Structures are given as C-alpha cells and as structure tokens.
Amino acid sequence: MPPASQLKKQIQKTHLGNAWPLGSSITPRGVNFSVLAPYATAIELLLFEHANDEKAATIINLNNENRSGDYWHIEVEGLREGSSYAYRVKSQGQYNHQTRNYSSKVLIDPCSRAISGWDVYQRDSTMGESGNQKTCLKSIVSERDSFDFDSHPRPRHPWTKTVIYELHVGGFTSNNDSGLEDNKKGTFLGLKEKIPYLKDLGITTIELLPVYSFDPSDAPFGLTNYWGYSPLNWFTPHHQYIAGKDPLDARKQFRNLVASCHDAGIEVLIDVVYNHTTEGNKEGPIISWRGFGEELFYYQDKDGNYLDVSGCGNSIAGNRPLVRELILESMRCWATELGVDGFRFDLGIALSRGEELIPLEKPPLFEQIEADPKLSDLKLVSEPWDCGGLYRLSDFPANRIGTWNGQFRDNLRKFWKGDKNSTWLLKDNLRGSPELYKGDQNRLQRSINFITAHDGFTLNDLVSFNIKHNLSNGEDNRDGENHNNSWNHGIEGPTTDQALIALRNRQKKNLLATTIFSPGVPMLLMGDEVSRSQGGNNNTWCQNNPLSWMIWGPDKCDVSLHLFVKKLLKIRSQFPELFSYQNLLKEDLLDEQKSSNQLWIQWHGVKLGKPDWSSWSHTISYSVNKGSQGALMWMGLNAYTQAMHFELPKPITPWERIINTASSSDQIPNKKREEFSQSTVELESYSLTLMITNEYASRSSFNP
C-alpha cells in the first residue's frame, strides 16, 4: 500500500458499493468491501499501511446508506491487491440478554482470502472487551481468480476405484530426513515434491487435515494446535504452510499443489471444520464471527451461554440461512478458485442440528450443498458422529455424502485381536456393509473403510500398546480415546523380542489387507505404510514435532511393509470386480443363473460351504465364483492362536497364492509366482491368505 498520507488522498472518494460478492473484491476503480453484520448499528472499515502496523492509517465509517439488508458494503477508490484492512462493529444483540460489548475489537473479515499480522498477533488480546488493535490480525485484499481446470482437469475417480490417503500438510515433510530444502519443509510446495511418492504407493486421493486458517496458539500448557481443528477463517489457506512470508502467495502455492496433483491423477480432498470455530465459548476470543453477530453464528441458550456438541466450546448454527450462505461460499471458494475435488466434514452430523441443537431429518445445509451446481462434481465425506452423542452412520441425512465407517474399524480390530462374537459382525463388512447400510447401494459405494486415522493410534501403535500414553499432552493422560480395541501382543510398547516383532508385523499386514480388499473406499493413514509410531500417543493434536511427523529415512521406515502395501493396492486396482460391493452382495445364484458368467460370493469355514459364525469362532473364508464354472478367488482369515487347515473350493484353473501375510518374502519384487495344487491350505495363526486362479492372475504382475 502507499504511504499513509498518500493513502488518505487516494481514498477520499468512496462509493456505496455492492453487497455481492462477499468479502473484499477488486473492481476497476479500487476495492469493494461487503460483510455480513445483521445486528450492527455502525461499522468502521480500518485500512492499514502495513500488515503489522499497530494503528490504522485511516478509518472509514459505514452508515445505513451502506447497508443492504443484513450486509454492509462500500467501494473505495485507489486501493488494490495487497491492501490490509479490518473492521470494528457496534451492534445491538438480537436478544436482550447480551451485555457483552465488542465494539473495541478489531475483527478480520469472515470472507478473507488472505490474512496477515501473525508476527504481532496475541490470542490473549482478543479476550474480554478491551481493544486489540496493536496485536490484531488483518485481512488482505486478494485476487479471486478461478482455478485453471482446462489445463489441470479434475481426475474424477469413481468411488469404486478410489483409495484415500489421509495426511497432515505440515507433518508430511517437516522431518529433516524428508530431503527437502528448509523453506519447503511443512509447506504446500513441500507436499508437492512428494507427489511421486504418493503416486508410486498407489493411492488415488489425498485427504488433507485442515488447511484453512487456524489459530496455532489455541492450545494449553504452551503447546501448539497442530492438527488445525480450530478454524479462524474458512477461506484463507493457513499461513504456516506457505514457503516464504507473503500472505498473497498462499493461494498461489495451494493452487500449484492442486494442479500438480491433478496432473498426476491424484484428487485433493480437504478436511473442513464448519461445526465450530476457535472463538470458544462466551469467555473466548473475539476474532471475527463473534464480533459480527455471535447470536447469528452460534447456538446459544436464553441466557447467552454457548451450546456445544463439538467439544470445543461452541457450535455453529449451520442451518440458519445467512450462515448456510457463508458456508456455501467457503466451499465454492475452495472448489472453484483453489481447485479442490471434495470435502471431508469434521463432526459433520453436528451440521444436521437445528435450533436448540435438535437433529433435523432434512438439514437445509446439506440439501443446499447437494443442490449447488458448482459443487455437483465433488466427493463429499463426513464423520457421522458428534460430541453430543448423535451418531447417524447408516442413515446419514444426505444422499451424496459418504461416511466414515467406524463400525468397520471396530469390527476389524476386534476380529484380528481375537475377540469373541466378532466373525458375524466382520462378515457384513467384508461384503461392503450391506446390512449396516440397509442395502442402499448409493451409501455402500461411499462407505469409507479405515483401520486408523489421525485421531487415535497409528497402525504400528495399534498392535504395540494396550493403553494410550498421552502424558506429553499435559493432561495427565486424561485426553484421548480410552476404548481403542488395541493389543500389544504381550509387551507394552517397543520390544527386541523377534517372535513378537514378527507377530506384530503379521497383524499389521492382516489389518491392511482386510481393509484394502473390502468393498467400499479404503482410507490409509499417513505413515502406516512404513510403520510410523507416535509412542502410544493416540491424541497428538498438540504435538507439532517428530512424534507426529512422517518418517522418511530408510533406517526409520519399514521398507518391507511399504512394498506390501503397494502390492495390495496394485491387486485392488487390477481386479476391482473381485472386491466389488455389487458382486459380493450376491451370496447365491438360482440354478438358471449359474450358467451365466455372473460373479457371486460363497462363504466357507475351515470346511467348504460351512462357515462358522459362532461366538467362539476366529476364522472366516470365502470365494468369489463365476457362475457355475468354479472359483476365481479365495480369501481366508485366521485370527486363532493356532494354525488352521482350510479346504479350498474348486478353481476354474489352478490356484496361485498371491498374498500370505505369514510369509516374510511375500512382497519381494520379481518373486516367482507360487502355484498351489493342494485341496487344502494351512494358515498360520493370525494370518491371511489370498488366492486367485492362475489364468486370471496372469493378466498382470502383482509385484510392486
């Protein structure tokens, strides 16, 4: 921006401006500002010469002439991209209960595309009623260009061929062994350099933990808010993920990442937090939404106390029309301006709640999202639970939104741990969870099957710890999930016992193979493919350090497991029909259908055609048959403490054993295929075997 004296001269001429578009937008004459403030009686637009200035260079007062309905707007000549601004709002609360006065608070624009002032920002100064101009954040006027889809089109992978990899942008490349230049570690551009790794692994889609602006200081005990589930703004890429200091580079660098992912055939989903914000409860910070109208944005009781089903102090009133529009505008920004291919809604079912947090059968927010043509080609995923006890997995109140299948996770963990009453439950999951989803094929193809996620144990820790070890979080191990269905296999934590190490490695392969070979959409957690550990911490939300970061050095990574995961994903991609929920729904065929080439599933136990679903059973096997010709594929799972012999069905052509998790050489490249002519096969304790007929298998090499 020009010097203050010059700035004042340039902005002497103003115009009423327009209510649309929201936020700040560049016009031929300057910049148009529009902000939602339904209860405001007056608004001040503060313009700053520099991002870290303690005092505004000039202040422009907006009055009722600058108001259209609930929106306040003005056009200022002479301003341009890069201009720093903020607001102060005087308001009369909608409810007479409000005695809080926020008129001294400097607020960022809820629709900011860029934010500055982080060098001087202090979270403490946003509390209470005193002014915070010396330590406030500022919004930055930014371009609003559209993403270049002509040059970098969306990959548009069908759900049936999608494999998701959940990762943290900062943590993925922060380690010294990532091989990146220091200025790129933990950034969007650093992640871009790791696209070949992701492509080689075999995933189709990355799901990024929150990448829009959050408050890193929203954490106790001097720790850092690392995961980012503390949104400060729904439009701005997070400042710590930028290579360099210019806040205007954030959008450019994020677009660069998305474009490179598209060029590699990888989709980009982002984790969005529309259910709560960093502003906490009524004693929390006043940074943006609260100052523009806390009665609008947050659910409150009649006394002004914030209602909370997020566990973070507040709940966004997402089904109110004005709030819905802001959420939709945020989604359009990321989808059309920044190019993302979809969204994962954190605690998404909370967005189905209406007034007084009553669940709605037809939440208008979800209806509006699904009706929006600009969002029609996106993948949408949600957590089906919130912290208020609402859990709607099989009947999530939206047609196009897939759900994290928490029951798949729990059933799979229980089975391989050797729990009783686990085989019958897992049977449904191995078919794609049709009983859980009541046969709704629209929901079946969008079932997100996972064994681990950012919230909880890593895969390595799942088989190494019986209990959580979260003391470094500063809460005396009270935080984090207590019910993990984990198993240390005899010793808590790391061990030098080679037999125990081998068993844990086998269990990791069992869990991964079952997840990847189950119908639905498999999701992998960052680093599980190389046995990344968090030392038994199952809630690393505040650990921005090597405990949470991806590992890269060959001396730290489980290279053998990495090759094994690549092989699993290659098998799934080359033979999708063998792991299709549509085919595995067919458990039997009529006699007249058996002359066809239709695929169908047949359940077995250790004996053919005799599955054991009893409470004490620990074995499952099934074959995928082609009409009456014979079996194409057979998979056996043995979670018993001893080896078991399984009878094999008659194959169309001789069997080849493709996967044997009890074999340490299973993932060796260029390994000679193992033909299998016996009528039975022995499965070691806690192991999984996959067989495919040799004629079918000859279509490709399975080696990574």
Give the model confidence (pLDDT) of 127-170 as tens digits.
998 999 999 999 999 999 999 999 999 999 999 999 999 999 99
| pLDDT at residue 244 is higher than 50 | yes
The confidence score (pLDDT) of residue 678 equals 87
Q: How far apart are CA 329 and CA 200, in angstroms?
A: 35
Check whether the bond before 21 is cis (ω within 30° of 0).
yes
| pLDDT at residue 172 is higher than 70 | yes
Q: What phi and psi values does residue 314 have, to the nearest 5 degrees?
A: -150, 165
Place of tokens 């799979």: 412
Q: How far apart are CA 227 and CA 608, in angstroms?
A: 48
Per the prediction, the chain carries an average pLDDT of: 93
Q: What phi and psi values does residue 158 have, to the nearest 5 degrees?
A: -65, 155
Mind listing the domains of the chain with CATH numbers? 4-140 (2.60.40.10), 159-283+313-576 (3.20.20.80), 587-697 (2.60.40.1180)
The confidence score (pLDDT) of residue 584 equals 72
For residue range 181-220, what is the model confidence (pLDDT) as tens digits? 999 999 999 999 999 999 999 999 999 999 999 999 999 9
Radius of gyration over alpha carbons of the chain, in Å?
Answer: 27
Q: Are the C-beta atoms of 83 and 47 separated by less than 8 Å? A: yes
pTM, to two decimals = 0.96
Residue 448's contacts (CB-CB under 8 Å, 6 or more residues apart) are 164, 381, 402, 403, 404, 405, 520, 521, 523
Q: How far apart are CA 653 and CA 532, in angstroms?
A: 40
DSSP string, 655-702: EEEEEETT-TTTT-TTPPPEEE--SEEEE-TTEEEEEEEHHHHTTS--
The confidence score (pLDDT) of residue 5 equals 56
For residue range 480-525, what is the model confidence (pLDDT) as tens digits? 999 999 999 999 999 999 999 999 999 999 999 999 999 999 999 9
Q: How far apart are CA 133 and CA 56, in angstroms?
A: 8
| pLDDT at residue 669 is higher than 60 | no
The confidence score (pLDDT) of residue 581 equals 78
Active site residues: 346, 383
In residues, how long is the chain? 704
**DSSP conformation class of 203:** -
